Amino acid sequence: MPIETDIPQLDHWLLPSLGIWVIALAGLAILLFLLGWVWALLHGGVIGAPRLFRPVTRRFLSRTWAAIADLIFISPRRVGALAWLGIKEAIRRRVIIVFVVFLATLLMAGWFLDPASDNPVKLYLNFVMGTSDYLILLLILLVTVFSLPTDIQKKTIYTVLTKPVRPSEIILGRVLGFTLVGTVLVVGMGLISYAFVVRGLAHTHQIDTSTLRPLGDPVPQPDGSTKTMQQGWTTKVNGHRHRVFIDLQGHARLEMEQGHTHLAQADASQEGGFVLGGPEGLLTARVAKYGNLVFRDRNGFDEVKGISVGDEWTYRSYIEGGSEAAAIWTFSGLNQAELAGDSVPVEMSIGVFRTHKGDMKRGILGSLAVRNPDTGLLVELEVFESKEFSILQLQIPKKIERFAAARFVQRRTRSPDGSVTFSPQQPPASDPAKQKAFDLFRDLVTKDGRLEVWLQCLEGGQYFGMAKPDLYLRVGEGTFFTNLMKGYAGTWCQMVLVIVFGVTLSTFLSAPVAMVATLGILVGGLAHTFLTQVAVGQIFEGVETPYQAGPIESLVRLVTQIGVMEEMPESVAFHVMRAVDTGFRLWLESMSYAIPPLSQMSFAQFVMNGYDVSGELLLIDLLRVLGYFVPVFFLGHFFLKSREVAA
Amino acid sequence: MSQFTVDSIDAERGPTSTPRDVVIETRGLSKFYRDFWGRKKVQALKALDLQVYRGEIFGLLGPNGSGKTTTMKLLLGLLFPTGGDVLVFGRPATDVAKNERIGYLPEESYLYRFLNAEETLDFYGRLFNMSRSVRRQRVSDLIEMVGLTWAKRRTLKEYSKGMTRRIGLAQALINDPELILLDEPTSGLDPIGTREMKDLILKLRDQGKTVVMCSHLLADVQDVCDRIGILYQGELKELGRVDQLVTLKDVTEIRVPKLDPRVENEIREVLARHQVSVLEWGNPSTTLEDLFLRIIRESEAHPGLRVHGRGNGNADRN
């Protein structure tokens, strides 16, 4: 299965995210100013507030400056000492016990995880990564939120704060210490998980000689004898068996089953016997190159989305068969060196929506084409038969000699003012239809490395559905071990954010309250996508409805039995209700920025489905950690500096 | 509101004092404790004006809840003043940089009990940004000074209260501070420990350091402090040199070696002739502390010495 989430690309992600980050910080600063006002109002009354506000503002600005100045004076030795203290404390709190819990869970799971299931790799990885993720995050949350409040409660903080230690160093030291402890946990669990999965799925078969049957006619050999190809089955292990083919040279080959095969070697001790190796291709890390997806509607105009076939899950968009509609992926940064071999493998998993049944045993036909975005040259490579729920691999040869058709195709974009732009505007001088062969990199890939891959459905009345990650160029193969570790790097990033929030919240909240607050952030972060959808009113994405998601409107509609597709009568109360709901949604939206998108930071889906976690994704995760760390760290500094720890 | 101002403090320094550097200065310092809603709950300190000079031992006296510890915490920046100013080395008490020159022994030694003595001192040394070699030397010197070399590898949770107090003192001195703030320094110590602590405080003063201590053990304060301030219900009630404050100016005491009865009678006659009434006549008693320390010293010199009870509450030692 392909990845079924939107995969961010650094160059598209960075600038908008940076913009949101700056706006969010500005919002935070305004919020703090407003809180200052409220504080002044509470303490000075309405008349005294303006007089009080000036010192509050001055204090706010001086604190901001102090926090920045503090960063200059941060002593690595002091931070190191406080980090060391954090590690000692974590060890004293017996965090190592989590390994025992993890091992015990795995031992128990060993009885229940069935290697004979349809997708044992996914089952195993889902279990180990899920378990270790929750164990690490919950454990680190508890260790983190209890640390500083315990120090304040036991007054051990007195002996620290009366040394030349800055609040920022206390926060940084804690974060660093717990991160180091967490790193040991993550690496340890990663190694245990690797051993568990590899050992749990390791198996081999034997060729069941009683099932071997001749395949085809006997072929005469130079020495006068005859030989026949054979086919049969292996023994059944882990709920599956492989079909075996033995060629005329006596080499055995096993068919893929449950996503893997086994290598067969001649058995030296037994004439005509074979020894089968361990599973090959079971634990993969496909290196995929993703492109940007746009759609072409039935009239040949570019669209951001395809059409909806009424699926509740609007992740995939559909194109209509037998029309000009197409899904166009634009890949960039392609170069010869990266794509070794004679051809470039394209892998896809296309959803199919049938408006009429047709021959259910046969897939729907589609065509794969490549196009040069600059010249408009489009070469139709081949017709394929769709396979649902599995990955279909096709090849784009570097020397294209066999192809269905070659023609000039313009992309047409409709502007908001109704005008249409064409790309490219002019056809090439030579007619591509007369060309006998094409060179992928010379004719179809632009000078800056861009290439379009077009997918069309050839059968009228049938539809193909796709999302961006459904088609990709397979540019290489990583090792499973490295990929698993990269998957755990995602967990590590989530963990660091939990630590940062936990430490900061514990600077001004008591331990139980800080725990609940951090847990709230953790849960909110893991359900971040839903939270954002609610905030921006996208629960019924793509559906025109008079209902604007909001708590009061929902309540009113529930009580008055007005359905979500029905208009509500307009009145003053109606507008007040809408205003309150909009305010709530704005608050929720701002919260969705304040809560880190932990769900998007996990790479478990990649590892489970056998996709390599790219360095780009790791970098995005690290930037996310940094993006949250900076403001939260500053907040923690303010809180701790403003707090009378001895009060 | 205290009647003691900065000027009156200078006057209290007495004729022997010379102008010295001010290490601590509070001006109209007051502190309210507030409840959750920000309402004033307790006024712990009322307009305190105080100056502490370089090289003196200053004692803050007062019953429980009089504001001693609050003053100490305000000086350290652990609490923020509600009104007035606190300056330590001429900088606001909330300035972290002042801590470079301060050593603080809290009321109870609030230390990390999962660390051992060496780790504890090394940790605090690192907080002062001391290099490894300096730390190593300083840690070993201080552990020896407080007499815990034999227990330096034991975690603090195994320490007795007195031992914890000693290691607490060692951490307060890790940076060789100019100003040492001691909150109840002798609490939890046995008489020997108390004596050693007091000797150490005097030694620190002799090294030119300034010591501020607060205690409700009056004898300890009297033994070591040069000047004292007496706090009651958050107000400064008395301030001055200990020797002057405790001197009874209308009573004369003469201490001489034991007199024989003839001389004693003569003195009585002289006093009667001058119509002086004798308030007290007899042999002075030593303090229990001195007695205890003498017995311990003798016991260490003569390990076999034991007490034989006579049945009447007294004892013979042989």
What are B29-56's pLDDT values in tens digits? 999 887 777 677 888 888 899 999 999 9
Amino acid at residue number B174:
I
* Interchain pair B96, A166: CB under 8 A: yes
**CATH architecture for residues A289-477:** Sandwich (2.60)
Given CB atoms, is A561 within the 8 Å cutoff of chain B? no
Q: What is the mean pLDDT of residues B130-149?
A: 92
Residues B183 and B57 in one domain: yes
ipTM of model over 0.90: no
Residues B165 and B279 in one domain: no
Residues B256 and B242 in one domain: no
Domain boundary among B219, B246, B273: B246
Cα distances from A27 to residues A24, A470, A584, A591, B221, in angstroms, run 5, 37, 16, 11, 55
The confidence score (pLDDT) of residue A320 equals 93
Q: Give the closest residue to A234 by CA, choosing from A260, A205, A259, A255.
A: A205
Residues B297 and B224 in one domain: no
Give the C-alpha separation, A142 to A512, whole Å: 10
* Interchain pair A644, B78: CB under 8 A: yes
Residues B226 and B309 in one domain: no
Given CB atoms, is A94 within the 8 Å cutoff of chain B? no
Task: Quote the tokens at residue A238.
Answer: 């882990």
Q: Which residue of B has its CA nearest to A641?
A: B94
pLDDT band at B6 (very low <50, low <70, confident <90, very high): very low
**How far does B128 lie from chain A, in Å, by closest CA?**
6
* Interchain pair A162, B102: CB under 8 A: yes
List, in order, residues 6 or more apart from A160 with CB less than 8 Å away. Answer: A82, A151, A170, B127
Interface test with chain A among B71, B73, B78, by most A beta carbons within 10 Å: B78
Domain boundary among B195, B229, B246: B246
Residues B222 and B274 in one domain: no
**How far does A156 lie from chain B, in Å, by closest CA?**
5
Residues B131 and B196 in one domain: yes
Amino acid at residue number A340:
A
- Give the residues of chain A that fall short of pLDDT 50: none
Residues B227 and B305 in one domain: no
- If one compares B301 and B164, the residue with the highest pLDDT of the two is B164
Q: Give the closest residue to A495 by CA, choosing from A278, A66, A186, A198.
A: A186
The CATH number that applies at residue B145 is 3.40.50.300
The confidence score (pLDDT) of residue B13 equals 43
CB pairs below 8 Å between A and B: how many? 78
Domain boundary among B200, B227, B246: B246
Query: B132 contacts in A (CB within 8 Å)?
Result: none
Please determine, for residue B133, whether its predicted confidence score (pLDDT) is greater than 50. yes
The confidence score (pLDDT) of residue B11 equals 40
Give the C-alpha separation, B42 to B264, whole Å: 58
The confidence score (pLDDT) of residue B12 equals 43
The confidence score (pLDDT) of residue A455 equals 94
The confidence score (pLDDT) of residue A463 equals 93
Residues B126 and B199 in one domain: yes
Per-residue pLDDT tens digits for B266-281: 999 999 999 888 888 8
In chain A, what percentage of residues exceed pLDDT 90?
38
The confidence score (pLDDT) of residue A46 equals 67
Please determine, for residue B18, whether its predicted confidence score (pLDDT) is greater than 50. no
Task: Judge whether B1 lies within some domain.
Answer: no
Of A131-140, B139-148, B300-309, the range with the lowest mean pLDDT is B300-309
Domain count, chain B: 2
Residues of B engaging A, defined by a Cβ cutoff of 8 Å: 33, 38, 73, 76-80, 96-97, 99-100, 102, 104, 106, 108, 110-112, 114-115, 119, 123-124, 126-129, 168, 171, 175
Q: Return the domain boundaries, chain A.
A: 10-201+481-642, 207-280, 289-477
Task: Judge whether B306 lies within some domain.
Answer: yes
Query: What are the beta bridge partners of residue A455?
Result: A327, A368
Task: Judge whether B36 lies within some domain.
Answer: yes
Write down the H helix ranges in A223-334.
Answer: none
Please determine, for residue B176, whether its predicted confidence score (pLDDT) is greater than 60. yes
Amino acid at residue number B257:
P
Given CB atoms, is A80 within the 8 Å cutoff of chain B? yes
- If one compares B254 and B142, the residue with the highest pLDDT of the two is B142
Give the angle B173-B174-B177 at the CA atoms, nearest 5°: 55
CB neighbourhood size of A114 (10 A): 12
| Closest residue to B129, CB basis, from A78, A159, A645 | A78
Residues 138-167 of A with CB under 8 A from B: 154-166
CB B205 within 8 A of CB B57: yes
Domain of residue B90 covers 6-246
Residues B200 and B258 in one domain: no
Residues B216 and B288 in one domain: no
